[in-house]
Chain A
Amino acid sequence: MSRAAILRQPWLWAWVGALAVWLATAAFTGGTGSGQVISAALTFGAFFVIVALGQMFVITLGPGNVDLSIPACMTLAGTVSMKIMDGAGAMIPVGLAVAVAVGLAVGVINYTLIRALRIPPIIATLSSSFIFQSAAIWYNRGLRVKPPEALGDFTTAKIAGMPFIAILVIGLAVAMHILLARTIYGRSVLAIGQNMRAAGLAGIRVERIRAITYIMCATLAGLCGYLLAAFSGGAALNMGEEYLLSSIAVVVIGGTSVAGGFANVPGLWGAALFLFLLVTMLNTFGAGAGVRLVLTGLIIIGVIVAASGGRHKREG
């Protein structure tokens, strides 16, 4: 790749941003704890990336496609699987299967609403998320069931200083990259995002691809809910909250076109690390909760404004 070609990669800016923020933090602390920061960023970034992978495929389907039910799906999958496992180590695979099944069911319901009622995906996933959230509240009954110890250990395990969960999610991202770039399914998603009508006329079974995409997105959210609940010592009813913004922000900052049709996986990891390191940096600088929220919001908008400027120049 020539230098110009590298500069044109859409994922570049997310990684540059992540590096800059990390260096700023390291400079402030004089380098102490920079290693731990990276390790934490890889762990929390892994959770962001799992949901963002699904959201990326959905957003790539084109304007109006976005899954707003991710937080509710995570919460439901997390609570149901934790309660079914009830802390028993032998039930770990059952819990995983249950969480994935919850995700699958959520995806099927979402797509059925979109298709049967012919409503925009935003409204379909919004209204269904109300129901999933209620289901989680009702099922949970205010209890906080601890995850099986072995599962909790698994999510915090490290191999040579590298969080194990991050290694797994990097593997997942590589698989998803191949799915996007090298398979008929992935190419079909891109084609639909660029021109749905043309894709249909070219023989792509548009509705089948859309169904798979929404179901896959919800399934990944279910998986993330399972892992996150295990990681944080039990499912909480608000555990998915921040993942609504994060899943969309990670996708967009990572260089995927919000208008659909163009996606890239490497940017997801860059953006996830960037978001986590940004909050860490503001914490290190001693910013209070209010200042941290304001700056996070402004920086996300700033990145998007900057990214859109770059895109215009390239086209012109």
Chain B
Amino acid sequence: MIGAIFSPRVLRGLLPPLSLAVLLISIFWLQPRTMSYFGLNLLLNLAVPIALATIAQMFILCVNELDLSIGGFVSLVACITATWVQETPLFGLLALAALIAAYAGLGALIHIRQLPSIVVTLGMSFVWLGLAVLVLPTPGGKAPDWIRSLMTLKPPMIPFPIIASVALALIVHVALMRSAGGTVLRGAGGNPAALARAGWSILRIKMTMFALAGFFGVLSGMALVGLTTSADANIALRYTLLSIAGVILGGGEFVGGRVSPIGAVIGAMTLALAGSFLSFLRLNPDWQIGAQGAILIIVLALRLLIRQAEKRR
């Protein structure tokens, strides 16, 4: 019984939540005041947009592509939300819908011309950033009130960021991992040739996955503006690297459609908390980014150890 609990397979699944738990407990230990409704709210607030961007990246990784433009995209959405959506809601929301359509178009372009997604999305990161500068040349704008009040909700007992993260993880998990449609979508990453022979259109699957990524990227940008109340063109550029790291931390693989929505959300929260952990340690803030890299390397090393234990059995 105990052997079954500690089998490598279970351990591998437990690695992401365990990493998060270790980090959280260390933070509580260093700074007990964070162990409150208010403290958790502050700690995890900014994890929500990162988690949404990570889910967006996960959809792309699921079909064996990589999106290096998601940070620029989220910045652009934030700029549009803080200006057009605030001033002329209908036009703003139409613009956001057009952005999602553009993402689907990118998926189609990459698939039809068999282009390397790294290069295409790297080029797109310039386009998104340029558009963001055009929409909002200087930092500013204002978050629409309804987004602001949604993001600062104070539900009883459990802080909003936790409810939002759990809901996000569960909804995407059910839709992608437990439904028939989700299985087909993931299959395009696992064995596209087999899916194509079974009569599915890989083009439509890729477009769907890219559109989903665009959708969650839009949510991420809106959530971010709801928290920061204003925007600027560079607001989320670091999300590109954070989102890739988050998916991998959460147990996702680079190829083969092996991803985990719950893991991705946990991975994003781990990275978001890493910064707070360091400041509570009174470590030099210069090492904040470096610590995220170190955490990534440690978790990957642990995963390798578990994989080797699995092989030995």
Partners in one complex: yes
Chain A residues with a Cβ under 8 A of chain B: 64, 66, 113, 117-120, 122-123, 126-131, 133-135, 137-138, 244-245, 248-249, 252, 258-259, 288-298, 300-301, 304-305, 308-309
- Residue pair B293, A129 in contact (C-beta under 8 Å): yes
A293's partner among B127, B137, B290, B292 (CB-CB below 8 A) is B127
Identify 5 new A-B residue pairs, CB closer than 8 A, beyond the known A130-B296, A297-B124.
Answer: A134-B286, A134-B288, A245-B126, A290-B133, A296-B130
- Residue pair B290, A131 in contact (C-beta under 8 Å): yes
B118 close to A (CB within 8 Å): yes
- Residue pair A245, B134 in contact (C-beta under 8 Å): no
By a CB distance below 8 angstroms, the chain B residues around A301 are 119-120, 123-124
**Majority SS at the chain B contact face:** helix
B248 close to A (CB within 8 Å): yes
- Residue pair B130, A297 in contact (C-beta under 8 Å): yes
Q: Bound state CA distance, A249 and B304, in angstroms? A: 33
Which parts of B114-157 form the interface with A (CB within 8 Å)? 114-116, 118-120, 122-127, 129-134, 137
**Majority SS at the chain A contact face:** helix
Chain B residues with a Cβ under 8 A of chain A: 66, 109, 113-116, 118-120, 122-127, 129-134, 137, 241, 244-245, 248, 254, 284, 286-294, 296-297, 300-301, 304
- Residue pair B123, A308 in contact (C-beta under 8 Å): no
By a CB distance below 8 angstroms, the chain A residues around B122 are 244-245, 248-249, 300
- Residue pair A305, B109 in contact (C-beta under 8 Å): yes
By a CB distance below 8 angstroms, the chain B residues around A297 are 123-127, 130
What would be 23 A-B contacts, judged by CB atoms less than 8 Å apart?
A117-B297, A117-B300, A126-B241, A126-B293, A133-B289, A134-B288, A135-B290, A245-B123, A248-B119, A249-B119, A249-B123, A258-B116, A289-B133, A290-B132, A291-B130, A293-B126, A293-B130, A297-B124, A304-B119, A304-B123, A305-B109, A308-B113, A308-B115
By a CB distance below 8 angstroms, the chain A residues around B296 are 123, 126-127, 130
- Residue pair B131, A290 in contact (C-beta under 8 Å): yes
Q: Bound state CA distance, A64 and B116, in angstroms? A: 10
B131's partner among A133, A137, A294 (CB-CB below 8 A) is A294
A300's partner among B123, B245, B290, B291 (CB-CB below 8 A) is B123
